[in-house]
Amino acid sequence: MAYTPSSARYDSMTYNRCGNSGLLLPALSLGLWHNFGGVDDFKIARRIVRHAFDKGITHFDLANNYGPPPGSAEENFGAMLKKDFSGNLRDELIISTKAGYVMWPGPYGNWGSRKYLMASLDQSLKRMRISYVDIFYSHRPDPDTPLEETMMALHDIVKSGKALYAGISNYKAPEAKKALEILKKAGTPCLIHQPKYSMFERWVENGLLDVLEEYGVGCIPFSPLAQGLLTDRYLKGIPDNSRASKAHGFLKANDITPEKVQKIQQLNEVAKRRDQTLAQMALSWLLKDKRVTTVLIGVSSTEQLDNNLACLGNTQFNKAELEEIELILKG
């Protein structure tokens, strides 16, 4: 059956300006890191993408190596674009991809050289069957390649029209500041930074958010639920089909320590008093900071997506709630 997007798709989503740019992004964006690869059910993945768009999520985030196998998430998304988002619907989408981790053998399939970034983007465009992406990221800093080379590759990619905006991911504050300065001087200001950020992972608060604010760069946290730890899924062990139960996942069973479970239980009580699920509160906790443009969520079902979206109705915290959360996290 042909897909017709909901006519009410923009009615309930919040859109935030990305730094000092002209681009608005939905408060929640959909990441295709997990559940959209060749090992996953294409029908379910397609249903999630359609449902996300119907709910106002216009931003879909990928990387060259997402799968598994690497590249398969882009291939699947390309098939969805052809089936469901042809014609002018492409103009309603923000599509991002990245290069920086190992993608093919040899010296040119990893890190941050000009050779790798440009070749990788060409491959990504072929897999997705599109002529440009909206955002192209350097996925991580390369300690052995001059930062100028990596950033000027991003600059030239934007100038070529193969990407509309440049982004960086996993850059700590000092190297991010240098990267942003290079791009600014080149005339292609960085649009957005994608760091790992959650209640359990807070390194971005040690200067990075201040740097992004100084340069007018948006922030899009990934792994906001700590790979599912900041949900009620792991309060009673490791359920079947959870990320911790999958051999190819990044969340391992030994990550779920008794100390973590205790904190999750305490945070869950705070969420209940806010009439939220723990996942909703964890997302709201990130969105309370106006330097955060959008939060990147990963889901395995439309039901999970709807649960996450419900956080948008309650992103304010009172002082007592914030203090209690801090005590739990530091305990």
Please report whether residue 119 resides in a domain: yes
Please report whether residue 331 resides in a domain: no
Which residue numbers in the chain have pLDDT < 70? Answer: 237-253
CATH number of the domain that residue 59 is part of: 3.20.20.100
Please report whether residue 322 resides in a domain: no
Confidence at residue 238, expressed as pLDDT on a 0 to 100 scale = 61
Please report whether residue 135 resides in a domain: yes
Number of domains into which the chain is organized: 1
Confidence at residue 248, expressed as pLDDT on a 0 to 100 scale = 47
- Domain holding 114, by residue range, is 15-234+289-314
Please report whether residue 21 resides in a domain: yes
Please report whether residue 42 resides in a domain: yes
Per-residue H/E/C for the chain: CCCCCCCCCCCCCCEEECCCCCCEEECEEEECCCCCCCCCCHHHHHHHHHHHHHCCCCEEECCCCCCCCCCHHHHHHHHHHHHHCCHHHHHHCEEEEEECCCCCCCCCCCCCCHHHHHHHHHHHHHHHCCCCEEEEEECCCCCCCCHHHHHHHHHHHHHHCCEEEEEEECCCHHHHHHHHHHHHHHCCCCCEEECECECCECHHHCCHHHHHHHHCCEECCECCCHHHCCCCCCCCCCCCCCHHHCCCCCCCHHHCCHHHHHHHHHHHHHHHHCCCCHHHHHHHHHHCCCCECCEEECCCCHHHHHHHHHHHHCCCCCHHHHHHHHHHHHC
Please report whether residue 181 resides in a domain: yes
Confidence at residue 258, expressed as pLDDT on a 0 to 100 scale = 87
pTM, two decimals, is: 0.94
Please report whether residue 73 resides in a domain: yes
Confidence at residue 233, expressed as pLDDT on a 0 to 100 scale = 84
Q: Are strands 15-17 and 24-26 parallel, antiparallel or unpaired?
A: antiparallel
Confidence at residue 242, expressed as pLDDT on a 0 to 100 scale = 54
